[in-house]
Structure 1
Amino acid sequence: MKKILIAFLAILTSGFLSLATFANNKTAKADDNNTPVVTLGTSLTSSQKQGTINTLTQSLNGANYTTITITGSDLVKYLNPSGYDFTNNSGVWSSAMVQKTNSGSGINVHILPYNGHNNITTITANQYKNAALTAGISDADIYVTSATPIDGSGALAGVYAAYAKNGNSLNQSQINAAQTEMNTLSKITNQNKSKEGYSDAQLNNAIAGAKKEMAKQGQNISNSQIRDIVNNQININHLGDTINNDQKEQIINVLIKVKNSGALKDKNFQQQAGQLTDQIQSGAKNIFSKFNTPETRNWFQKLIDSIVNWFRNIFGGAIILK
């Protein structure tokens, strides 16, 4: 009887241990999917790696995070399909941290100075946001920095790898479209940066607004409809006097590529695009608050005013437009 009791207790204990182990494994897996991931460029020195970690994780206030190293092979995997010519031996310096956030919080990008210097020399936070949206990322805080001056085009490769690490691999077609988009917007901003009446915020707000309108139409939207949407967004954002026809065609082609990538199939795409426009406008209130004043109304609004006034002069009465 004693032996039977001992055997029963052993089986019972073993069962509890198995259940505890299973529960712990589930908890670890869940934590892994929500734990921030820090991506470190393989070319960083030991001191630069620590400095990069300190810079990227300062918002965590001591909370847990995991790290992965981004190498030239990651650049080849994620960026070369969109036209880059990286090799497995290419250097990587720009680094990032990805932190999933609550549903509906949108995509937030923070470019952080390293030792007091902003070493991301070309890509802007809004360009990163738009590219992340196209790539299929939603509801995330993304932090970017670099220990040395660099254009920052490779930082998203780390973000893509971080998503893959947490079991959320992104669609390569969308990644290709995202990288093409980021390069195109960066070049257009560089070409227009000295022009009065132009800002990177206006351009990215136009792109995000176009994506929102495209998502309303759905995956079957035609190229001509995309062209109309782009023309409308350029006028809404008062870029008609700065964006030339060649740049407009580049934008249209980028958004056609976004459609062809399948990005519009994502049910969250429209919501995330809408949140992105809100973020951009909120971050550049000094620009967007001027758009509805009489002095800055675009040519279309002025044309409507002139037509209304013409009819008023002819008929001598008030005209109510419905």
Structure 2
Amino acid sequence: MKWNRFLKGAAIVGVLITTLFVRNSGIALASSGDNDSINEKYGSPVVVYGAQLSAAQKDEVKKLLDVTDPSQVREITATGQDLVNYIKGDAHANMYSSAKITRDDTGGGIVVNIVTPENITEVTKEMYANALLTAGVKDAEVDVASPIKVSGHSALVGIYKAYDTGKGTNLNKDRTEVASEELSLATNLAKKEGMDSDKVSQLLTEIKQEIAAQHPATKEDIANIVDEKLKTLNISLSEKDRQLLIDLFDKMRHLNINFDNVQSQLDNLAQDVKQKVQNAVDQGFFQKVADFFQKLIDAIKSIFS
């Protein structure tokens, strides 16, 4: 009888732990919208397919990106030559990751949805958003998908091409190149020991926020901002990686990238990233609690065995 009461109590504790985790994890339910409505101000959404997709894979991507009526979207293909044009990439590179870009009203910000997170192995939605802000993209909803496992870098080139084919929306090539450098640096840093993609995104976003606030005039000013953020976020980098960060943001300074114009989008992105980092901390805490109770249950079971 006592044993049964104990098991019931343990089950209740487990439910409470789960409830607390969900409450603190910041999980949000997707809201329903009218996805079939065309924004007459900006025209139909643009869907960019990777050039290496087979016919079957392209059909799969269409389903993933909710392309049910091709007449309601503008379809283009991203090729290896586009890698050369936009980011000085390899013309022979394979292109699989694809994207759907729906321009939004001014002030809507950049919303990135990775439809196939299991197949986009390196680039996170926050990394995409950061790079797109650097490139000059704003106020758009971007859906990314791939039928196979890929890093996700080529989708960024596809997004650039989607903007270049629109009237009056051409992007500055120097900015797209430095945005690609930013994405490469972000994914490389995320592979370092003691780092993860959320922490890297938080670092990059908060550096941009400080640049917008301080308007650094020299490379030394950039270095001071980078060092302060590394210290504040308790991030330890090698001297080589630290210098890569400084060089990257100094390039942005020379390009006169004005992050003031996207301050609200940076603020929203920073808040999202901070929430993800906090969720990861909370999840680790609750896992420790669950492990503790499991050990307790196992210990009591051993008494009765």
Q: TM-score, normalised by structure 2?
A: 0.73
> How far 1:62 sits from its partner (Å)?
10
Corresponding residue number in structure 2 for 1:257? 251
Number of the residue aligned with 1:225: 221
Question: Paired residue for 1:206, among 203, 206, 210?
Answer: 203
Asked if structure 2 preserves the Cα contact closer than 8 Å seen for 1:203 and 1:237, the reply is: no
| Mapped pair 1:109 → 2:103 | no
Deviation at 1:136, TM superposition (A): 0.7
Q: What is the one-letter code of the residue matched to 1:185?
A: A
Partner of 1:120 in structure 2? 120
1:122–1:186 CA contact under 8 A, matched in 2: yes
* Paired amino acid for 1:154: S
Equivalent residue in structure 2 for 1:47, among 44, 56, 61: 56
1:181 aligns with 182
Shift of 1:173: 0.9
> Is the 8 Å Cα contact of residues 35 and 99 (structure 1) preserved in structure 2?
yes
Q: Cα RMSD between the aligned structures?
A: 2.6
Is the contact made by 1:39 and 1:159 (CA closer than 8 Å) also made in structure 2?
Answer: yes
Q: Where does residue 172 of structure 1 map in the other structure?
A: 173
CA deviation after TM superposition for structure 1 residue 275, in Å: 2.1
Contact 1:100/1:140 (CA < 8 Å) preserved in 2?
Answer: yes
Alpha-carbon contact 1:57-1:97 (below 8 Å) kept: no
Given candidates 51, 56, 59, the residue that maps to 2:65 is: 56
SS in 2 for 1:284: helix
The amino acid across from 2:61 in the alignment is T
CA distance in structure 2 between the partners assigned to 1:121 and 1:213 by the alignment = 29
Q: Distance in 2 between matches of 1:199 and 1:90?
A: 27
- Establish whether residue 135 from structure 1 lines up as the match of residue 135 from structure 2: yes
Partner of 1:237: 233
Q: Is the 8 A contact 1:281 1:288 kept in 2?
A: no
Work out which structure has the larger RCO, using CA pairs closer than 8 Å and 6 or more positions apart in sequence.
2
Between the aligned partners of 2:269 and 2:130, the Cα distance in structure 1 is 8
Q: 8 Å contact 1:216–1:270 — kept in the other structure?
A: no
Using the TM superposition, give the Cα deviation of residue 252 of structure 1 relative to its aligned residue in structure 2, in angstroms: 1.2
Q: 1:289 to 1:107 in 2, by over 3 A?
A: farther
SS at match of 1:191: coil
2:20 is aligned to: none
Amino acid at match of 1:49: K
Per-residue Cα deviation, 1:7-61 (whole angstroms, up to 9, x for no partner):
xxxxxxxxxxxxxxxxxxxxxx973724211101121111111110111227x99
Greater C-alpha Rg: 1
Aligned length: 245
Post-superposition Cα deviations, 1:162-183, rounded to whole Å, max 9, x if no partner, equal 1112220111111111001111
Partner in structure 2 of residue 37 of structure 1: 46
Q: How far apart are residue 287 of structure 1 and its match?
A: 4.5
Q: Which residue of 2 aligns with 1:6?
A: none
Letter in 2 for 1:102: D
- In 2, Cα distance between the equivalents of 1:205 and 1:281? 7
Aligned to 2:87: 79
| CA distances 1:72-121 after superposition (whole Å, capped 9, x unpaired) | 221221121xxx3x12x5431111111122332322222122xxx72112
Unpaired runs of 5+ in structure 1?
1-28, 291-322
- Secondary structure in 2 matching 1:97: strand
Secondary structure of the residue that 1:149 maps to in structure 2? Answer: coil
Deviations 1:198-232 (A, max 9, x none): 332122112111111112233x6221111111112
Would the aligned equivalents of 1:106 and 1:276 in 2 still touch at CA under 8 Å? no
* Identity among equivalent pairs (%): 26
